Amino acid sequence: MRTLISTILFLCSLCSLAHGQTCPTPAQLDTDLTGAAQAAVISLAGVNPINCPEITMSQSWSGGKLIFSDSPETPAAKGKLYEDTTLVATSGSDYNRVFLYHVNGYAKNKMKFAVLIKNRGTVAATLTVQKKGTAGPSTSFAYVGKLGFQRWLSSTAGSGVQVAAGAWARLDSTFDATQVASGNLLHGIWDYSISQPHTITICSLDAADDPITVCPGLSVLARDTHKRGTFPYADKVYDTASGVSISTSAGIQQFPIAGGTTNDENAVGIDETDDTSMTNVGNYGILYRIHLTTSHPDGQNLGFLFNPRGGGWGGAVKAMPGLLTGGVFLVPDGSGTTSDNTKGTVEGKYSSSYPNPWLQFLPTGGSSFPLRFVAVPF
C-alpha cells in the first residue's frame, strides 16, 4: 500500500511539473509555419493549444450600439423581425452597427428583407452609411458570413442622406430590393451615423412589397432559439495586459476569442420589442480590435494562428502587414471553413521588426465559436 501511495504521489508531482511547463514549437510546425502562406491551414500536431500558457488580455467596450437581428432566423411570414424605438443620435465616430442574418422560410415564394430608419427628431436628420458589407442570397451560410464581413472591412463611407422629421428612410435600397429564394440566406452589416433620435425597424417582406409602405404597419414576429436585440457597444478593444515574450523559452502561447471568458465577456443587451435580456453568446457582430505588445529576446519570429474550438469556423480579418502582406483577407482562404482543432489558420507572421501587431476580427454568422488565437515562436 505504501509503495502504491508513493508511486501515485510521484506521478502526481510529474503532472504538476508538466502543467507548469511551456509548449515548445514542434520541429514540423516550425517548418510548416516558415513556409506557410497567409490564410493557409497547417497542422498543430504535437501541441494542444488549450494546454499552453494563456496570454493575459484586457477588454474594454467601445463604439456605438449593435442592433442585432437573427430571430426568427428563418421567418415563414412577413413581419417585423426587430424594432427599437429608443435610439438616440449617434455621437462623433461612435457609429451604430446593424447586423442582419436571415433566411427565407417561405416554402415556395421569394422574400425580401428591409432595414428602415425613422427620424424621431423635430428637424431633418443626416443619415450616413459609414461602412457596409452584404452577401447572399445563398445556401452557403458560412461563406456568406465570411464574405459579408470581408466586404465591410473593405468599404468606405457613403454620402449623407437627408431624412425629414417624422419620415422613414431605407438604410440600403439595393439590399432591400434583393429577392431571396426559399432556403437562401441574405446577410448585411452596416455601420451608420444619424444626427437625430430615431427608430430602427427590420422586416421580412413579400417580394412585391414596398418597404416603407408595408414594413412599419406589420406585427412583430416571435423569437425562435436565436438572438435579437440592442447591445450597448458594437466594438471591443482586446489588448495584451502586459508584454508577450516571443522566444524558445516562452514557447507557444494562446488566448481565447468569443468564448465568454473572464477577460472576454459576452455582450449583454435587451430585446426592445419585449424588454427581454439577451446575451450574445459568441459576440457575433462585435468588432474585435486586437493589439499585442511583443518582444523577441532571442530573435524568434512570431506566427499567429486561429484554432477552432467550437466546430466549423471561417471568417475574415484585417491584419497588420509583417512577413506576410496582411490587409483584408478571408480565413481560411476561399469559401471553405475548418473545424479540426488539431490545425490552425495562419493570420500573420512577424519578426522583431514588427513588435506590436494588430488585427480587426468579427465573429461571423454561420460559424461556430469559441476560437483560440495561438502565438507560435518559430
Diameter of the chain by CA atoms?
86
Give the pLDDT confidence score for residue 210 in this predicted structure.
Answer: 98
| Other Cβ atoms within 10 Å of 7 Cβ, number | 10
d(CA 115, CA 136): 16
Report the alpha-carbon distance of residue 70 to residue 125 in Å, rounded.
Answer: 28
- The cell 472591412 sits on which residue? 153
What is the mean pLDDT, run by run of 10 residues, along the chain of 378 residues? 30 35 94 98 97 96 98 98 98 97 95 98 98 98 98 98 98 98 98 98 98 98 98 97 95 96 96 98 98 96 97 97 98 95 98 96 97 98
Strand arrangement, sheet containing 371-377: 41-43, 343-350, 302-308, 371-377, 253-257
Q: What is the pLDDT of residue 10?
A: 31
- In the prediction, which pLDDT does 285 show? 98
- pLDDT of 21 reads 73
Strands 235-240 and 287-291: parallel
pTM across the whole model: 0.92
CA 179, CA 176: separation in Å to the nearest integer? 8
3-state secondary structure the chain: CHHHHHHHHHHHHHHHHHHCCCECCCHHHHHHHHHCCCCCEEECCCCCHHHCCECCEEEEEECCCEEEECCCCCCCCCEEEEEEEEECCCECCECEEEEEEEECCCCCCCEEEEEEEEECCCCCEEEEEEEEEEEEEECCHHHHHHHHHHHHHHCCCCCCEEECCCCEEECCCCHHHCCECCCCEEEEEEEEEECCCEEEEEEEEECCCCHHHHHHHCCECCCCCCCEEEECCCEEEEEECCCEECCCCCCEEEEEECCCECCECCEEEEECCCCEEEEECCCCCCEEEEECCEECCCCCCEEEEEEECCCCECEEEEECCCCCCCEEEEECCCCCCECCCCEEEEEEEECCCCCCCEEEECCCCCCCCCEEEEEEEC
Structure confidence at residue 51 (pLDDT): 96
Residue spans per domain, the chain: 23-61+235-377, 64-231
What pLDDT is attached to residue 9? 29
